[in-house]
A and B are shown apart, each in its own frame.
Chain A
């Protein structure tokens, strides 16, 4: 039949782009993730040295102490490109929206004791500023990092962090009945309260950290690795005693996000450390240093909720993080 012959003759002359075929070792169909991730960033023949950094090219491997033979080894286990990332987030956003509406409609926060509400406000609301710093830090990694594999994931992370800062702001507005008072109090605390100064100092120090991979380790592994479990597991768990699952519902996005993002962070660290002993030693040194800093910075926050037990809680978190580093990335950061 004529139609069959016609369709049969429309055979592709190749199955993917040449750069992808070279990396796959064969011209075979490639995923959307790979076709729109591999080699997107220029690597050669730059025209002008940046006025803002004449010692480097526009894209330059020399902006970090980490060395990789192939910067596209940092493939994202989530295989996020813009489309899959945004669709994933919009689904989570739907759930968050429903949770917020549910809490709102049933006035569930009114059923939570005043003390617990105050505590929730005191812990969650100032953190929106820390999330803003995390946003800038990940934008920095996207801007000055090397290779689309890691830089695009960092750009998604940056926007995620702005999203989290906004969710935290919404929690504040729900707690203060849309008056903004909690946000103002939270900012005041962030700027002046003893509890928050070590953390604020840490975030400001991170915003001037120049080595983008060090910043990745410090922000996405060390600080997030201690603060997310502290806030969204331990403190949330403590608040549940009185608030039931109300506050957890408001935090669901952050909880889920952290689990998912950790997979990416772990795989980046594992890949970089497996590349060379020098990388491994450098990452371990950074991780130890910034875990110490993050632990100290979070200690007063933990004390707000756990009082004397804070030491124990923080030590436990540090141990868990070390175990995670060992198991997931082969790093020794005890």
Chain B
């Protein structure tokens, strides 16, 4: 008898959702206790369209092939001291930001998708989330293995996860993921799969991966490319999740819209760290933040939301503000990190003249007018009186936790301050976007572990900068401060057999107590 062949779709259905059954000994709501409290109504989990159909055996096969290739390249990279091929040691600071800020989020995604993969009431989304969960573990681990080589030759990487949980600016990425994971499964996937991975991922991966390619970092390029096919699965999951919720019940639409608004803004604020990395930290630049925002958000994102409008979904609230801010974002960030560079786990510097020129060209309306004078002043100051660091602690936004450094959308000379009262206390925000998020769930955001408050409350080793740095495991004089005065640079010049043209320059930098 000729065996009838199941088509891929039928086979996949049998191999996944047919495995589940309607429980009778226990209540379904006890097995999946988190599917209702967020207010999302699901009537039929079977309407879930599997965004990709990958059986486990096929998954092992494809992923193992990728892993074999990737690790053979990582091995070759370390055997050949590939870290010496990057354009300039300044580049490595972008990787420090990546390992301390992004790799821990890959791990958080691993655990968060495990939660979603256990909690969703349908096998379709369970399996998609579970596969993403282990993909994200893969990303975290391949990043550690790649960057392990850099850690052996450069400072700032050595205690990346300790720092991630403590250092002031790393609470920006950490609180972002804590926020998503502490929400329910539907908000989590809206936040991560849709808003972050589908809408904003190009603004994270393009800068780091193309940045790596432009700057001769073959190891990072390799893990980036290797993760790409995983990411395309994650992105399709993001879109399917949104469509599924929107199609299941009309009452889901306003909830989903609210989450899209929130997570767009949260993600956008997180990406402000990437903006400075693109415009200031890459010795060889790929494109400006402004160009990237135009291409990946305004054009691509615009088309996407156009497409979603048939479900009653509109562009995320305050997207216009992001468009106004694109002229300023990276400069304001880098200026802040430059001034607080004694408390950062990477080096900072004033852009060289050619780089200032590039910034002038990319930002003709704003760089020369508002930012170049600042950088030139600081350069002059360093020459005359030594490198200056800001001895105070910045005020942080209660929601995004970025220092209050953003200016009014329509007035780049005024810092933007917003505030709300809750239970007799006043809370401060960097923007209307962050204020709205707080006002919607104040009982959540008052809990935020704000690094500056924590320092004041004595929870970070003490009140002086050396004590706090010790709490951070940030080795003063090695991991932090000015690039020109760094061991990284000295080692680099020695390894590359290059002369230090400024070798006899007096080192004057001090951290003001």
A residues near B (Cβ < 8 Å) are 6, 9-10, 12-19, 32, 35-36, 39-52, 58-59, 81-83, 86-87, 89-91, 93-94, 96-97, 128-129, 131-132, 135-136, 139-140, 142-144, 148, 151-152, 155-156, 158-160, 162-163, 165-167, 169, 173, 177-180, 183, 187, 190-191, 200-201, 204-205, 207-208
Contact = CB atoms under 8 A, between A and B. Distances in A.
A42 B165 contact: yes
Most buried by B among A17, A96, A158, A190: A17
A299 B89 CA distance: 67
Contacts of B486: none
B60 A86 contact: yes
Nearest to A42: B165
A13 B166 CA distance: 24
A36 B141 contact: yes
Contact of A93 (B60, B127, B154): B60
B134 A155 contact: yes
Interface stretch (B22-30, B406-414, B461-469): B22-30
A41 B126 CA distance: 22
Contact of A204 (B31, B158, B487, B495): B31
A186 B183 CA distance: 38
Interface string B447-471: 1110000100000000000000000
A15 to B, nearest CB: 6
Nearest to B23: A204
A155 B152 contact: no
Contacts of A178: 3-6
Contacts of B144: 35-36
A162 B127 contact: yes
Contact of A47 (B20, B24, B178): B178
B19 A208 contact: no
B174 interface: yes
Interface string B469-513: 000010000000000000100010011010000000000000000
B64 A42 contact: no
Contacts of A158: 114, 130
B494 A183 contact: no
Interface string B65-107: 1011011000000000100100000000000000000001001
B160 interface: yes
Contact of B175 (A39, A47, A52, A135): A47
Given A52-B37, A58-B182, A166 B56 contact: yes
A173 B447 contact: no
13 contacts: A10-B495, A16-B148, A17-B157, A19-B162, A48-B448, A82-B137, A87-B64, A132-B20, A136-B118, A139-B133, A158-B130, A200-B25, A208-B31
B30 A208 contact: yes
B210 interface: no
B4 A177 contact: yes
Contacts of A183: 14, 18
B202 interface: no
A83 B165 contact: no
Contacts of B19: 128-129, 131-132, 165, 169
